[in-house]
Amino acid sequence: MPSHRRLLHEYPTGARRRLLVAVVVLALFISAYEGQLAPVLPLLLADLGMSLGAYGQITAVSLLFGAVSGYLGGELVDRVGRVRVVVPLMFLSAAACLFMALSQSVAHFTAARILLAFVEGMAVAGTQPLIRDFTPRMGRAQAFAFWSWGPVGANFFAAAVAALTLDLFDHSWRSQIFLMSGAAFVGATIVALTLRDLAPELRRTIRITERTTGVSGAPAGGSRLRPLLRRRVVWAHVAAMSLLYVLLATMNAYGQTMLVDHFAMTVRTASAIVMSFWAGNLVTGLVFSRLSDRTQSRKPFLIGGALAATLLLGALVLTMGAGASASRFLLVVLLTGVGISLGAVLGPWMASFSEYTEEVHPDVQGLAFGLNHFVSRLFILAAVLLAPAVAAAGGWQVWMAVTLVTTGTFAIVATQVQGSVWRAPRSPAAEGAGAATPAPGEPGSLRGVSGS
């Protein structure tokens, strides 16, 4: 494809920019949808003669490969371009999904699962930098909040498709993987025909609004990893989110199991309560992210949301002491409250991280999110492996006490990110006029702020 067709040399605005953001979210959704096996896991285990323990070990190994590939992919998208990496890997991941559907043995399934995790990790690594590229700071938290709908929406979509189509395909688990592969090929084609990269010189600018730019004080060349690793604020972002993923991974992997085992409720009731957790998180995430963008403050949302979640988790841990006699209504209120509180965290955290790193180095977005992907996946792996063991030894109340500690520690670590908790809000008009002064703790000031 000619360079002028592959690259955007003018920053997209209005409907075109929103379309590009939507296509990025679609790419993430498709990548997350592939390999969603929870709805058909019992059928898969029975057909391949695989134990749940063996499946857990395969999942752990695939997480490790995904962690490594996410870091490698992040570095790659900075060097050769986001779309040049994302599009081919989306087609390759669709092929890997098809390879999984053809599994006839545990060894075949294991190879397919690891391949899919590796390719998917590299593909997803390009989506967060693309959100940054196409989103000025005045809307970045909201865009990242929409980005987070991709993986969560994929969970719901996979469950819905399975419920609607399993009867049509004689309850074959392979039918669902074939459907995933077909959707992935269609999605990859749409992304390939629609998505474009910003030209390198345009990507290096810092967008305040669609028409207002700033320039990072860091040079375009030189080492990119070293400036990241020696920044305390970068590690504060990565450590904080990794700690929060202990709770999120627990709810994603074991939320229903925990409620069924500890409170002796039905699977249907447990699923409804867990859905209230995720629904509260998704909906309010957009609200809090919009407030964060309007005030151009991130740190208050990180600390405030984490503290609220910690208090509600503490109440939940105490409630778990009542066991099966605990109030179902109280459980719904507490878990939904935790989900709502975390909605204040995710979008502002991603916006804060991208804003800090784009001033550390203009070409470091992929590498920064790749580093975070690698470290956070290690915490997710630890949570997936340790939660069942701790629950078996001391009960789910003990493990939820662990998530209480990690969530509270997030609030403490988040105090080390850039910005002031009590910074007075700035109006969008001031931002549009070029009043782009960095908060205390940022690596440098924006230079050359001007209307484009």
- CA dist 219 and 205 (Å) reads 12
Mean pLDDT of 32-45: 85
User: What is the per-residue pLDDT for 151?
Assistant: 82
CA 317 from chain centre, in angstroms, equals 26
415: tokens are: 């105090």
Nearest Cα residue to 110 out of 148, 68, 151, 60: 60
- Split at pLDDT 50, 70, 90, the class of 422 is low
For 268, counting Cβ atoms within 10 Å of its Cβ (0-12 exposed, 13-18 middle, 19+ buried), the class is: exposed
User: What is the per-residue pLDDT for 450?
Assistant: 47
pTM of the entire structure? 0.85
For residue range 338-350, list pLDDT tens digits in order. Answer: 999 999 999 999 9
3-state SS, residue 87: helix
Yes or no: say if 358 and 65 are a contact pair by the CB < 8 Å rule.
no
Nearest Cα residue to 432 out of 414, 418, 451: 451
> Residue 270 carries which side chain, given as an amino acid letter?
A
Domains of the chain: 3-215 (1.20.1250.20), 231-422 (1.20.1250.20)
> Residue 180 carries which side chain, given as an amino acid letter?
M
Yes or no: say if 27 and 192 are a contact pair by the CB < 8 Å rule.
no
For residue range 291-317, list pLDDT tens digits in order. Answer: 999 999 999 999 999 999 999 999 999
